[in-house]
Amino acid sequence: MNTTFYIFLVLIVIVAFLLVVVIMVQNPKGGGLSSSFGGGGTQQLGGVQKTTDFLDKATWGLATLLLVLILLSNISIFGAEASESQVYDENATETTAPVTVPTTDGNTTTDDTPEE
Enumerate the domain spans of the chain.
1-28+48-93
CB within 8 Å of 58: residues ≥ 6 apart: 22
* Tens digit of each residue's pLDDT (9 = 90 or more) over 60-98: 999 999 999 999 999 888 876 665 656 555 555 555 566
Find out whether 22 and 55 touch, Cβ atoms under 8 Å: yes
N-term to C-term CA, the chain: 35
Whether pTM > 0.85 for this model: the answer is: no
114 — phi, psi (to 5°)? -75, 150
pLDDT of 45 strictly over 60: no
CA distances from 8 to 3, 62, 72, 109 (A): 9, 15, 8, 55
Q: How many residues does the chain have?
A: 116
Tens of pLDDT, residues 4-37? 889 999 999 999 999 999 988 887 665 555 555 5
Give the C-alpha separation, 3 to 67, whole Å. 20
| Spatial distance between the Cα atoms of 4 and 77, rounded to a whole number of angstroms | 8
